Amino acid sequence: MSAGQPATGCWCVAHECGHGAFGATPLQNDIPGFIVHSMLLVPYYSWKMSHAKHHANTNALVTGETHVPELKKEAKPLLDIKHAFDDTFEDAFVLVKTVLMLLLGWPL
């Protein structure tokens, strides 16, 4: 068993506390949520607020916080190699980071 497995279990408990699904009252959720989040070095109350905002905007095309598609006027060709290696190297960095995460991060 890797060290990430118990931490993932703790995160599941902390996540449910943030949703208010762990205990019957807010206090029964906030006390273990605060303790477990603190053990994981994640601030509980600010995470709880930002996560509620995330769920409030889930699947919203413009106001969502994750997986927001680019507008048509901003869209870039998928295989535009010249753009991938422009001055900022932002797209190339994302590509390298994704490959490293999938090939090294997840298996480790």
The range of the structural domain enclosing residue 19 comes to 1-68
Count: domains in the chain: 2
- 10 and 28, same domain (yes or no): yes
pLDDT band for position 60 (cuts 50, 70, 90): confident
Task: Give CA separation, 32 vs 5, 41, 54, 79, 104, in Å.
Answer: 19, 14, 22, 47, 33
- 60 and 84, same domain (yes or no): no
pLDDT band for position 95 (cuts 50, 70, 90): confident
Q: What is the pLDDT of residue 32?
A: 95
pTM across the whole model: 0.56
Q: Between residues 78 and 16, which one has the greater pLDDT?
A: 16
- 23 and 60, same domain (yes or no): yes
Confidence check: pLDDT of 17 > 80? yes
Q: What is the dihedral of CA 82, 88, 91, 92, to 10 degrees?
A: 80
- 61 and 82, same domain (yes or no): no
Phi, psi for 37 (deg, rounded to 5): -60, -40
